[in-house]
Every structure is written in structure tokens, then in C-alpha cells.
Amino acid sequence: MHFTRIAVLLVALGFVHCSGSEALAQNQTDSLSPLIPLGVPFRLRIEQVEWDGDPLPTIHSAAHGLVGDRVLFVGGKTSGLHNFDCDPDENFPAKDFNRSLMVIDLATRETFSRPLSDADSVLSPAQIAALSSINTLTKEFDGQLISVGGYGIDENGDYVTFAGLRVIDIAGAIDWVLGDPAPLSDHIRFHQSPKGAPSDFFTICGGILIKNGDEYWSCLGHDFQGGYTECGPIGTTQVYTKSIRRFSLDTDLPDSPPIFIGETADPPPWARRRDLNVLPATVPEGLGAVALGGVFTLDDGVWTAPIVVDPEGGMTMRDPAARGTLRQGFNVYDSARLSFWSESRGENWFIAFGGLGYQVLWEGQLIENSSIPYSNEVLAVRYVPESDRWSQHLIGASYPTSTDSAGNVYYHGTETFTLTTVDQQNHQIDLDALTEETTIAYLYGGIIAGGQGVRNFPDTFASNQLFRVVFEPGAGCPADFDESGEVDISDLASLLETWGEVLDGIPQDLNRDRFVNSADLGALISAWGLCSE
């Protein structure tokens, strides 16, 4: 069925709900694009890993890198979302910042940690403070962990966004955690802004660091100085970068300084974004990036129209009101994410695993809520660079359902780490090369919420949950419940017989939200006919 016919069908069935509320006007756009059920040329499955080894550490918003089967975590936070009080020391308590290096061995199921304050680290108080920060811009490449900026408490006890770049030899740092007597300082290089760059070039938090060819790009984010408080901006400053800041490094010579390449000359107002998903992408001019969603507009809403970044770091955004512009409200916050490219299809697929959104599935209905609730569902965004066509899809995958002792469902994905286990040519997964069921990534940690937050703000915690992401090629035929080879009247009858709230995993619950309703009916009708078609 053609895309536009599916979109019309979904609106008619009430799958897409636009409230027209006053809160909606705070967002970048006052309408959102249809969410298409299924319609993706692959399937993803999230499975919880049964861990029978050492206790896993709770952590989110850390710099992290994977070498072999071992994961290194640097900095980050060991508690949930920050508080919203008047006292900065209550909102970001010093005890919640991770001041150790943590290591998880996925093969032996062992965990290790060692304090940065250990005398054998041979690090200064200022260096320890910078390494203990949160929301750094981080990228692992070729055994090196590149970490920019970050928010935390400096050696003088002040809340700051740190200025600087750290280059960490992951294997060497892991060896130090495991007891190597060589100083940790042998494995870390600290750099300031490169020659020719502004002094605040590396003073960023809440952005995303990606690699494009030989360049590193610090994408968007902000510089927040001072303690966070809900009682007015007393003694604080906040400056959004609205910029792509480009530099290069010779990782074979870690002592060599970073080289300044450039930054956005005239930062546009619509790039005032942080805490978002930025992914490597194939764009019309070659290899670039796409920025999805993000917060906050000047009216405390969410950004809905994506930004395309060309190979030279230039940013463009389609007119948000124009027909065909993607207007995203689902999974708009920094989450676990993956980027695919299919040469045969000429399209990118960007995956956001849960997190937060203005638009969420709640009790089987797609709703809009200005409190930006939590989501367990997986969103797929399709971008065809040649024709500049976009669509967004709910692909029927979500985090496995689990609850606390009171029956509150846990929600995952926010600030969660993505540990990719397959090769990424040009920093994207080659969709055409995946021809059989494959574990393509692990998702670890992040912020876990004990409730969705639609009506009441839930308790949040730092997670220590580990999930695997399993890729299955082909869209399959999930609406063919009786496996007859076609979706027909018998499948429709089967769906109607299970209408209402259902247990997790019921086949008729096509979008995996634990409700069989109009959303699943729309998906079945859109798949009507022979599965081969």
C-alpha cells in the first residue's frame, strides 16, 4: 500500500492524535507527521541478557568505549534524573558523580572498578574532576576514547561545563583498572582548544560527537555554567552552540594537539538544540549527519524538524510547515540509537530505542503530552537523500516489559549506551550486508523510570540492565497470524477476537504496546493480501 494511503488510513483510525492543546504550540511545529506501523525492510528484537556474573554497575551519561568484550565507562552519573529543587547541591549531588573507572567484561561476566583518586593514577584534581563529568560528547574509534567537555563539579567545588578534550587509550585504561602498576596518566592525554579555534571550542555538554571521515564533529549542545536550580538563573549562564565544530586528531600520536578545521559561521536559531540523537548519514553530497528532535525551544517545547548536515558541516532544515517535512514527536530525546544505510534501496534508517518524547503510546493510544513522558518503543526514521523523502515508523519492537513490586512498568532508553557489535562502514551499519539473524548491538545502562510519567512524575534510577538487539532481515508478514501466506479475513477475525488489553507478546498486538486496538487494525489492513506482495 502506498505511503500516503497508509498515512490517511492511520489518521482515519485515530492512530495519530493531535490534541491542538496550548502545550503543542510550544513545540517547533503545531502538527506532527503520521507514525506508520511497520513498513520497515527489517525487524529488530530487544532481548534482556540474563546476567549471572558479578553485579553490574548502575550508570548513565558517561563516556564509554568497547574493545573486544570489555567496556570502559568514564565519568557519568550513578543515580537517576537530576532533581528539580532550588538547591544545586540537591539537584546534582557530588556523591552521584562517578569518580571511578568502571569495566565490564561481557565474556567472563566480571566487573571491575578503580577510583580516579587512587595515588597510582598520577592525575591532578582538575583532571580527575573533568574525567568525572557527565553528558560529555564521546566517540570511540580505533581503540581510543575521545571525550569532549562535560558538566560537573570542578576542583574548586564549582558547577561548570568543562573546557577540554581527553584522548583515552581504552586498553591501557582497562589494564590500569585491572591492576597494571603503570600510572593511569600514561594512557590519557588532555588538550585545550586547538590553535585558531575559539577558547570555548571544547566547552560543551549535551551534544553528540560523531566521526566523519578523518574529522570529528561536535554537534550542537550547550555551555552551562553554574549550579542547576529551578529558582531562577542565579549565577548561571547557558549558551547553546547551535554549531557543528570540526576538528581532527592523529590518534597514532596522542601527544599531538587537535587540529581546528572549522565551525558553523552563522549559527541558525533552529539549531538551538541539546540532548538529542545525531547520527551519521548518507546525504546528497556524500557522508554527513542527521540531527533528530532535541530540546528545548524558547517556549520549552521540543524540536520536531530534522537537521541535515552536509560533508562540510553545513546545516540545512526544510521549512517545518512545508509538505513532506518530517515533524517528529516520538523518541525525541538522547537515547540508544543506530544508523543504517542501504545502497540498494538508496535510503538511511535511523533507529531510536525508547527514551522520552512529546508523543508516546499510553494504554494503547498515541497521545501528546507536554511533560515529555517516557517510551519503551522503538522508532525508525527513513530518509531518502536523493529525493529528500522522510517517514517515521513504529516497527513493533520495544524493550521487554518488566515491573517493580507495585506493578509499575519500567521505561528504558534515556541516555542509554549503544555498544555496536558489527562493522560500521563509514560509521553506518551496511543494511544490505545483513542477510541473516544477527546480534548487532548491546544496550546498557541509562536512566530507568518506574512509570511513564503521563500523569505523575515517576521515580528514576540509573540502570544496570543489559539488552541485546537482534536484527532479522526482511519485513516478514507479522499480520499473517495463521501463516497461510496471506493476510485475509481469518487474520482479521483473529485480531478482533483478541481486541483490548493483552499480555506481552500476543501476535495480534502488532505494535507490541500490550493493546490490540485501532493501531493494530490499521497495520493489518495496510498488509492485506499475499505476503509476497
Q: What is the pLDDT of residues 142-183, one digit of tens each?
A: 999 999 999 999 999 999 999 999 999 999 999 999 999 999
449 and 465 inside one domain: yes
Instruction: Report, as an integer, the average pLDDT of 55-65.
Output: 98
Same-domain status, 261 and 204: yes
> Does 45 reside within a domain?
yes
pLDDT at 1 > cutoff 60: no
Instruction: Judge whether residue 442 has pLDDT over 70.
Output: yes
Q: Is the dihedral of CA 289, 293, 294, 297 positive or negative?
A: positive
For 94-116, how does the pLDDT look when each residue is reduced to its tens digit (9 = 90+)? 999 999 999 999 999 999 999 99
254 with 348, same domain? no
pLDDT at 15 > cutoff 60: no
Q: Is the pTM of this model over 0.85?
A: yes
- Among residues 210, 242, 273, which one ends one of the domains? 273
pLDDT in tens, 276-291: 999 999 999 999 999 9
In a domain, 330, yes or no: yes
Task: Please give the pLDDT value at position 504.
Answer: 58
Please, which pLDDT band fits residue 24 given cuts at 50, 70 and 90? very low
Q: Which of 367, 382, 300, 278 is nearest to 330 (CA)?
A: 367
Q: Is residue 469 part of a domain?
A: yes
Distance CA 501, CA 497 (A): 12
* Final residue of a structural domain among 254, 273, 292: 273
pLDDT at 331: 98
Are 422 and 447 contained in the same domain? yes
The pLDDT tens digits of the residues spanning 117-127 come to 999 999 999 99
**Average per-residue pLDDT for the chain:** 91
Residues 263 and 159 in one domain: yes
How much of the chain exceeds pLDDT 90, in percent? 81
| 253 and 111 assigned to the same domain | yes
pLDDT 10s digits, 33-54: 999 876 788 999 999 999 999 9
Does residue 234 belong to any structural domain of this protein?
A: yes
Identify the DSSP state of 311.
Answer: T
The candidate with the shortest Cα–Cα distance to 357, out of 340, 376, 339, is 376
For 102, the grid coordinates are 568502571
The reply to whether 487 falls in a domain is: no
Domain identity same for 122 and 180 = yes
Domain that holds residue 77: 62-134+136-273
- Report the pLDDT value the prediction gives residue 253, as an integer from 0 to 100: 80
Least confident among 212-216, 218-222, 510-514 = 510-514
Predicted pLDDT of residue 23: 42
pLDDT confidence of residue 79: 96
SS3 524: helix
Q: pLDDT > 70: what percent of the chain?
A: 94
Asked if residue 314 and residue 207 are part of one domain, the reply reads no
Q: What is the DSSP string of 475-512?
A: ---TT-TT-SSEE-HHHHHHHHHT-EE--TT-TT-TT-
Last residue of a domain, one of 425, 460, 476: 476
Quick check: 20 pLDDT over 60? no
pLDDT-derived band of residue 532, with 50, 70 and 90 as boundaries?
Answer: low
Give the total number of structural domains in the chain.
2
Neighbour tally for 197: CB within 10 Å? 19
- The verdict on 232 and 322 lying in the same domain is no
Looking at the structure, tell me whether residues 258 and 357 fall in a common domain: no
Residue 494 resides in a domain: no
426 shares a domain with 469 = yes
pLDDT tens-digit profile of 312-353? 999 999 999 999 999 999 999 999 999 999 999 999 999 999
| C-alpha cell read off for 77 | 552519573
Q: Do 39 and 89 belong together in one domain?
A: no
pLDDT score recorded for residue 484: 87
**Residue 403 lies inside a defined structural domain of this protein:** yes
Secondary-structure percent of the chain, ordered helix, strand, coil, rounded to 5 = 15, 40, 50
